[in-house]
Chain A
Amino acid sequence: MYKVYTQILEVRGETITVEAEGIGYREIAQIETSFGVSLAEVIKLEGKKVTLQIFAGSKGVSTKDKVRFLGHPLRIAFSQNLLGRIFDGKGNPLDKGPKLEDHLIDINTPPVNPVKRIIPKRMLRTGIPMIDLFNSLVISQKLPIFSLAGEPYNELLARIAIQAKVNIIILGGMGLKYDDYLFFKEKLEKEGTLSRSVFFVHTASEPPVECLLVPDISLAVAENFALEGKDVLVLLTDMTNFCDALKEISITMEQVPSNRGYPGDLYTQLARRYEKAVDFEGAGSITILSATTMPGDDITHPIPDNTGYITEGQLYLKGGVIEPFGSLSRLKQHVNDKTRKDHRTLMDTMIQLFAQYRQTLEKQAMGFQMTSWDKKLLKYGKLFEEKLMRLDVDISLEEALDLGWQILADCFLPQETGIRTSLIEEFWPKR
């Protein structure tokens, strides 16, 4: 039977403390307030005092309200019926479909045994040269998009989701603007991918703390699909809201903050979620793409900083394009040796020359005389930006490689590129 308690001793921030016995750590409780029923999770036990974090926030909680302990950690119904459905951050339907209650799974699953993982080796093609050619995306990769708040990161996520060859797409929205939610819904509906998608959406109008559950629910569902052999792509947007909710709770709990108010375990909290990305030996996979908006475009801010240490690279979206510097796919070397043999060299050379182009731009801005080499670089940089960098470019990797050689040949002599002679002989476009 459920245990019900009515003695709320303390309400502080988004947490309450009640006196209760026989309660398990991380157990879930329901709080019945005059505004409705809210879920809460046990985050501290001391003697008879039980401290809970209320996902709907503590506004309107009365000291007489009933706290009903459910005797288990948070769960979600898992089945094929999830596909095509839209839920809120706690797993309640937002569409007109029925509430799902069969086959409940814990949303906190243990970590994967590293020996049961396999080395990622399947490239996920996107048709975006800045990704396919320069920072190849790989199945089971975890990759955030670092950007300023106004950048089109949700558009980029949606485009990758639609073009990527995966079985299932799961969208975890945290603090999502209602417009963005509708954008994802319409876009995926239009492309016919909604029927193999599941949405868990927490919108900006709901209490911030409620978004804490979104990554766990999304990833628990993804994990179960992956165990059935499916390749799952999880989109998490925006993880900055998740981190801010963590900060709010930890400060209420009087934890000593480590950096700009964020808790010392921010790294661990993020890692627990991102590390769910996996390619199982003998089953499916989970690939995670997330959006992390950088407060003040500052990459050393604790959120992008901790994220960068966990994820396998990042895409840096700035000025509406994927920046070649600051963007990195750490797994690209697992796949870009199997595409075409000029892929790696061309990638390195083009980026090195582009770096020189940027230096030349600085020189030019300061009014220095342009040498003949500078002029070559300027021509190269312009072509690069126009033909490869723009986000609306949609070409295959092979087309992008050929285009790359063409751009080099239009601007430089072969020996100015520093490319090994054997490759020059094979790939340098003949006039």
Chain B
Amino acid sequence: MEKRIGFIRKILGNMIEVKVDFPIIQNEIGFVLSEKERLKAEVIKIQNDIVYMQVFEETGGLKINDGVEFSGQLLSVELGPGLLGQIFDGLQNPLPEVAKSCGFFLKRGIYKRALSIDTLWDFFPIVKEGEIVKAGYPVGYVNEYIFKHYIMVPFGLLGKFKVIWIAKEGKYNLETPIAKLENERNQIKEVFLKQDWPAKIPIRCYQERLKPKEPLITKMRLIDTLFPIAKGGTYCIPGPFGAGKTVLQQLISKHAQVDIVVIAACGERAGEAVEVLKTFPEIIDPKTNRPLSERTVIMVNTSAMPVSARESGVYTAVTVAEYYRQMGLDVLLLADSTSRWAQAMREMSGKLEEIPGEEAFPAYLESRIAAFYERGGIVRLYDGRIGSLTIGGTVSPAGGNFEEPVTQATLKVVGAFLGLSRERSDARRYPAIDPLISWSKYKGIIEEGARQDILKLLKEANNILQMMKVVGEEGILLSDFITYLKAEFFDSVYLQQNAFDPFDQATSNQRQIYIFNFIYEKIIKKDFNFKDKDNARYFFQVLIQLFKNLNSSAWQSSEFVEIENQIKEKLESIKNV
């Protein structure tokens, strides 16, 4: 093929303008040919014979009139067995491979194949010759850890195809054809164990999208009980710095009841990504009895890595997540943080001299955010299996103020809002999700009436607290004071969860339902008679301590039963006063 080469005529940060004299595709990938390196770049705007590109690397040393070779390909993701357990950067460079050849640093212009070509996979065919298939149909599978990794007809094929040849059971690498397909116009297509798909286009090979109904258990009591997330739903976690967004996402990634977790660490601290990638291989998933890393794909683009790769990293991650959904699996994508992604868009928009919107974010910010979350969802595949992709994004609003464009645009499209507050994190009340501002449109594990009662109690207690600040403790009724203590008690022993306690950090849904009903029936709904406020406070202090002991004991162990009996005794004792 003839080489298509353009020439740089302007450089500003990581934005370059290139003069070309041939047709160009929007979002096409090109390589800047500098003295020693080839730097990857993407077309983001075309104006007559000038192409605007974002370079995914530092641009130091580039010169006017350096060549740019266009590839004719869109920015795409390699999809196939071998993704699980891998650690990629935003352009799907496998970081351990890069480390092998470059050592400590990420040298620019080093691109490695995302998936290993040498690995042989045991392939099992599903379809027979003569069968009619279309894009997204499984033709066979390989085993990737505990999962059946389906090999599917390439998502980009249009129309129906007949299987004219399918490989026998055996060992194949990613570049050996395993099936041949033919359509009515006698076009023949080969199928491989891997396929490429453009990152910015959603994979839509399914019958229909369904309404998210089933709760996704995160084992975080505050979420599952009060603000549930649904399989195939979306949620966001906005919060000021230091409120625990990342810790919360990490806990969810460890405990959520899903098959596969895709983590997109986007423009955040390297240290946090390191924690995930060093500890996940060592944590055993109780559900599968296998290391957590075997069901995880990690995309790391830390804040020190080039900004434009940050923008594409989010799309790379969601594409990988969609790919596993196509296999009928429950997938969870965690994006931390979508604000950094939005900032990457802002930086590029500024360099393109577009008219800025609010806080200099581009006018298309909202539609980009909406389109991203819309890639989540629960779907019925062609063969009737159900797959889901749940998307959770953190938002880092400037100054912790939720009235800013990224938070507002996100709130419009998500199904659950878990807002973190500085007040709660300062008071060390973790998770710092503020029950007074958060909401969820999904159905959870607790009966709705009881859930509403609790939300009402928390609101009421907050009003009483505000009143106490004005009139003092002596200025309010004993009954109001007890309401306040009940809410404080519920907050301390149920909403707050100790992430460092082996038992308290994750509460199964059975345990949640049991404990919740116990507290709701025996404490919240009950009228207590106390002599005075000091008496009431002391009673609840003792109760809090007992429940804390309960929280750090194993579910239904002898210790658990013993503490439960102590609590029952304590509750009985007050009846007899």
Contact = CB atoms under 8 A, between A and B. Distances in A.
A271 interface: yes
Interface in A346-403: 348, 351-352, 355, 362-363, 366, 368-369, 371-373
Interface stretch (B103-111, B119-127, B321-329): B103-111
A259 B398 contact: yes
Interface in A39-93: 44-48, 73
A117 B360 contact: no
Contacts of A205: none
B103 A27 contact: no
B9 A47 contact: yes
Contact of B302 (A48, A114, A258, A313): A114
B63 interface: yes
Of B108, B270, B277, B549, the most chain A CB neighbours within 10 A belong to B270
B399 A305 contact: yes
Contacts of A251: none
Contact of A366 (B9, B300, B340, B472): B472
Contacts of A1: none
Contacts of A118: 274, 278
Contact of B469 (A265, A305, A355, A362): A362
B474 A119 contact: no
Contacts of A46: 9-12
Given A27-B61, A48-B64, A256 B356 contact: yes
Contacts of B64: 21-23, 45, 47-48
Interface string B502-543: 000000000000000000000000000000011001100110
A331 B59 CA distance: 33
B311 to A, nearest CB: 12
B500 A344 contact: yes
Of the candidates B10, B269, B548, the one having the most CB atoms from chain A within 10 angstroms of its own CB is B269
A111 B105 contact: yes
A45 B96 CA distance: 35
B460 interface: no
A143 to B, nearest CB: 12
Q: Which of B271, B303, B545 has the most CB of A within 10 A?
A: B271
B544 interface: yes
Interface string B188-219: 00000000000000000000000000000000
Contacts of A210: none
Contact of B270 (A44, A109, A112, A416): A112
A259 B542 CA distance: 49
Interface string A106-120: 001111111111111
Interface in A284-320: 299-302, 305-306, 308-310, 312-314
A9 to B, nearest CB: 16
- Find the residue from B59, B303, B360, B548 having the highest chain A CB count within 10 A: B303
B61 A110 contact: no
Interface string A389-421: 000000000000000000000000001101111
A389 to B, nearest CB: 16
Nearest to A255: B350
A372 B207 CA distance: 67
Interface stretch (A124-132, A177-185, A231-239, A322-330): A322-330
Nearest to A268: B307
B395 to A, nearest CB: 11
A111 B343 contact: no
B60 interface: yes
Contact of A114 (B277, B399, B427, B545): B277
B58 interface: yes
B106 A110 contact: yes
A101 to B, nearest CB: 22
B16 to A, nearest CB: 9
B385 interface: no
Interface bin, chain A: 35 or more
B270 A275 contact: yes
A111 B241 contact: no
Interface in B461-514: 469, 472-475, 492, 500
A300 B400 contact: yes
B275 interface: yes
B297 interface: no
A126 to B, nearest CB: 20
Contacts of B270: 111-112, 114, 117, 275, 278
B562 to A, nearest CB: 12
A268 B63 contact: no
Contact of A369 (B60, B99, B472): B472
Given A24-B62, A268-B347, A415 B541 contact: yes
A26 interface: yes
B473 A371 contact: yes
Interface centre among B106, B241, B400 (most CB of A within 10 A): B241
A272 interface: yes
Contact of A113 (B105, B269, B492): B105
Contacts of A110: 58, 105-108
A282 to B, nearest CB: 9
A227 interface: yes
B95 interface: yes
Contacts of A305: 241, 398-400
A4 interface: no
Nearest to B344: A268
Contacts of A112: 104-106, 270, 304
A331 B273 CA distance: 13
A264 B346 contact: yes
B379 to A, nearest CB: 33
A119 B274 contact: yes
Interface in B339-388: 340, 343, 346-347, 350, 356, 359-361
B534 A372 contact: yes
Nearest to B241: A308
A109 B271 contact: no
15 contacts: A45-B11, A45-B62, A73-B61, A111-B106, A112-B270, A114-B274, A119-B278, A255-B350, A265-B13, A265-B347, A275-B303, A302-B398, A363-B473, A371-B473, A416-B541
Given A114-B87, A119-B271, 19 more contacts: A45-B11, A48-B64, A109-B105, A110-B106, A111-B304, A114-B273, A115-B87, A119-B279, A256-B350, A267-B343, A308-B240, A312-B269, A312-B271, A313-B242, A314-B242, A337-B500, A348-B428, A368-B472, A369-B474
Interface of B: 9-13, 58-64, 87, 95-96, 98-99, 102-108, 240-242, 267, 269-271, 273-275, 277-279, 300, 302-305, 307, 340, 343, 346-347, 350, 356, 359-361, 396, 398-401, 426-428, 469, 472-475, 492, 500, 533-534, 537-538, 541-542, 544-545, 548-549, 552
The 5 closest A-B pairs by CB, nearest first: A300-B399, A271-B303, A368-B472, A275-B304, A26-B60
